[in-house]
Amino acid sequence: MNLLDSLRALRLLAIVRGTDPGAALRTVLTLAEEGIEAIEVSLTTPDALTVIEQARAALGPEALVGAGTVRTAADGARAVAAGASYLVTPALVDGLRSTGSPEIPVLMGALTPTEIEGALARGACAVKLFPGSLGGPRYLRALRDPFPEVPFVPVGGVDVAAAREYLDQGATAVGVGSPLVGDAADGGDLDELRARAAEFRRAIAGEAR
């Protein structure tokens, strides 16, 4: 799977993090039904590996279901064994190429120019700019000058308005957690999740609200 090409096409990565594994699985499946195809399940979610395994089984082998909050090579190996099709880290993580599937794509977290270089040196296919809320779209615009070729995916505090602004400033895609998922992964209303998903899809497409 070419994660980078998928992110360029889809422009939105949903981040599912919750307290209820059953609700988290329902959230993943609902997002997929609403046309949000790239979905990351945070390993901080209870029984996250089972959620990933069941989501991949339900959505098929080509599903873009990855593991997030991967902090160690061991985390990565367990996620790959559960069926994660890509890994997302919050920071620089060594050893992810030894997860048992060296070709698995990694979206690696970084914030500063030095960390960005570190992520690229570790084989990241794209850089998760985290926490994006610290610098906002203006910070991304400043980074585009020294790093014009680097695919950036801002994550952290990305609401509907910020999503569109990041994309306008050159982000490859945006990663969105609670502004999209809300409390759905804790057992919240799935109809409200569907409404938020539609709103984000319109924003990503550049349609007026």
Instruction: Please tell me which residue in 34, 37, 53, 128 is annotated as part of the active site.
Output: 128
Q: What are the residue boundaries of the structural domains of the chain, listed by start?
A: 3-205
Can you tell me the distance from the alpha carbon of 199 to that of 201, in angstroms, rounded to the nearest whole number?
5
Can you tell me the distance from the alpha carbon of 89 to that of 108, in angstroms, rounded to the nearest whole number?
5
What is the enclosing helix (H) or strand (E) of 201? helix 190-205
Convert the pLDDT of each residue in 84-96 to its tens digit.
Answer: 999 999 999 999 9
Can you tell me the distance from the alpha carbon of 3 to that of 144, in angstroms, rounded to the nearest whole number?
21
Say if residues 166 and 137 touch (Cβ distance below 8 Å): yes
Instruction: Please tell me which residue in 34, 40, 53, 165 is annotated as part of the active site.
Output: 40
Convert the pLDDT of each residue in 143-191 to its tens digit.
Answer: 999 999 999 999 999 999 999 999 999 999 999 999 999 999 999 999 9
Alpha-carbon distances of 34 from 181, 194, 199, rounded to whole Å: 12, 7, 11
CATH number of 3-205: 3.20.20.70
Whether residue 117 lies in the annotated active site: no
Convert the pLDDT of each residue in 86-137 to its tens digit.
Answer: 999 999 999 997 555 668 999 999 999 999 999 999 999 999 999 999 999 9
Whether residue 199 lies in the annotated active site: no
